[in-house]
Chain A
Amino acid sequence: MTADTEKMTPEQQALFDYLLRLGDNAVVLSHRLGEWCGHAPVLEEDIALINVALDLLGQARSIMTYAGEVEGAGHDEDALVYRRDGFDYRNVLLVEQPNEENFAVAIVRQFLFDAWHYELQTALLQSSDARLAAIAAKSVKEVTYHLRHSSEWMVRLGDGTSESHGRVQEALDDLWRFSGELFEADAVEERMAAAGIGPHPQSLYAAWSETVDRVLAEATLSRPEDGWMQSGGRNGRHGEHLGFILAEMQFLQRAYPDARW
């Protein structure tokens, strides 16, 4: 797949990389949420998590189809999702973190992501890239709903019993080190910001931080100290978890290439 990308101009290459980051975040988190199907604590929540997963998968399809067109190598959404190896995946590390059969982990991961995703999609409404702006206009409605949902659960669990409070605080302390990557600038992000295609990552921080503070205050949770932040996912350096996700997600297309429903 990398051989074909040589035909892209540097601008196209940067846009392609950027689209993969957006699309991979959605695909991987969608998969993690999908793992709750039949396992959530209550039936309504089972349905809710899968609904969020479905929205993200739909967003990923729109983005990946576009990415395939930008790349111009004949890869459709399925080829990009099912035939790329882990080191070609560009998602942030936060979304690949495992559920650990712990609902608090799923909610904290979702909340930290949603609060960022909401600001990102809102900013993308102003994208100079009309296609990306149209996808964002669709996505932001869904993401607003996601953020409302995960925020409500943060409050319910945080301001709930000592057991639920303890679990969600522990999950927050544990996942906080993956929040820094969301706001990291690198050559791809800088180029997108300069072209007016995407927001500068750091420009999203203040609003994200405010949402986090407001919800944590209502949830009676403490905001963890910013310490060492893990990063690398957006450049293909993942933890061990992504490989297991891909092994399951890609099995069918790897074993039976071009199999159709």
Chain B
Amino acid sequence: MPLQTLEDFPPELDKLWQTLEAVVDPEIPVLTIADLGLLRDAEIGADETVTVTITPTYSGCPAMNMIEQEIKRVLGEAGYGAVEVKTVLHPAWTTDWLSESGREKLRAYGIAPPAKGSTSKRALFGAEPEVTCPHCGSKETEQVSAFGSTACKALWRCRSCLEPFDYFKCI
């Protein structure tokens, strides 16, 4: 992730980023927008205006408006004045930006995290990732559908414990 570590930040930015930690993805509420890598930048301008930069997971992600409202609400409650939320497309979001703690939170929530550093992202054929069942840890799993309940997930099933589960698609 291109984000700086919090320790390098001046205190006021440190506080701003920590405040933004309260903003979660409305569709996967165990993950913060920082965990997901959606939060690209946050800064305080000379006129005290706060600018927060976010990027969508998918072009049509319907959660973006809500995330923007949440950022404004959370920062407003924390006493920040003018808040501007910018959405950028470049560089394009990738599941590789998901934080280590975010991946663990996903697994605990019952969603298999994306295969890491996968080379299959642009492979057109024969690129089934190995996905571990988030319930029982078995690797005996199969894809039921390439698309799931949200744009970022696919539907899988475990052949060991027979439970269905969501897999966070690797892009």
Contact = CB atoms under 8 A, between A and B. Distances in A.
A and B part of one assembly:
yes
Interface of A: 44-45, 47-48, 51-52, 54-59, 61-62, 118, 130, 133-135, 137-142, 144-145, 147-149, 151-152, 211
- When A and B form their complex, which 6 residue pairs have the shortest distance between CB atoms, in order from nearest? A58-B60, A58-B59, A44-B145, A134-B90, A48-B147, A54-B60
A133 to B, nearest CB: 8
A137 B55 CA distance: 13
Interface in B107-147: 121-122, 124-125, 127, 144-147
Contact of B56 (A44, A48, A58, A147): A58
B78 interface: no
Given A47-B149, A137-B89, A137-B90, A145 B171 contact: yes
Contacts of A61: 59-60
Contact of A55 (B58, B122, B145): B58
A56 B60 contact: yes
Interface string B45-69: 0000000000010111110000000
Contacts of B151: 51, 54-55
Contacts of A145: 146, 169, 171
Contact of A62 (B59, B121, B125, B148): B59
A54 B62 contact: yes
A39 B120 CA distance: 31
Contacts of B127: 148
Contacts of B169: 145
Q: Could you tell me the dominant secondary structure of chain A's interface residues?
A: helix
Contacts of B56: 58, 138
Contact of A48 (B89, B94, B121, B145): B145
B150 to A, nearest CB: 8
11 contacts: A51-B148, A54-B62, A55-B60, A55-B151, A57-B59, A58-B60, A61-B60, A138-B59, A138-B90, A141-B121, A211-B124
A144 B147 contact: no
Contacts of B125: 148, 151
B155 interface: yes
B91 interface: yes
Contacts of A149: 146-147
B122 A134 contact: no
B60 A134 contact: no
Contact of B121 (A55, A135, A144): A144
Contact of B124 (A44, A58, A59, A144): A144
Contacts of B171: 141-142, 145
A57 to B, nearest CB: 5
A48 B155 CA distance: 10
A59 B121 contact: no
B92 interface: yes
A54 B155 CA distance: 17
A58 B63 CA distance: 12
Given A144-B122, A151-B125, 11 more contacts: A47-B147, A48-B147, A51-B151, A58-B60, A61-B60, A137-B92, A140-B122, A141-B92, A142-B58, A145-B171, A149-B146
B145 A45 contact: yes
A28 to B, nearest CB: 15
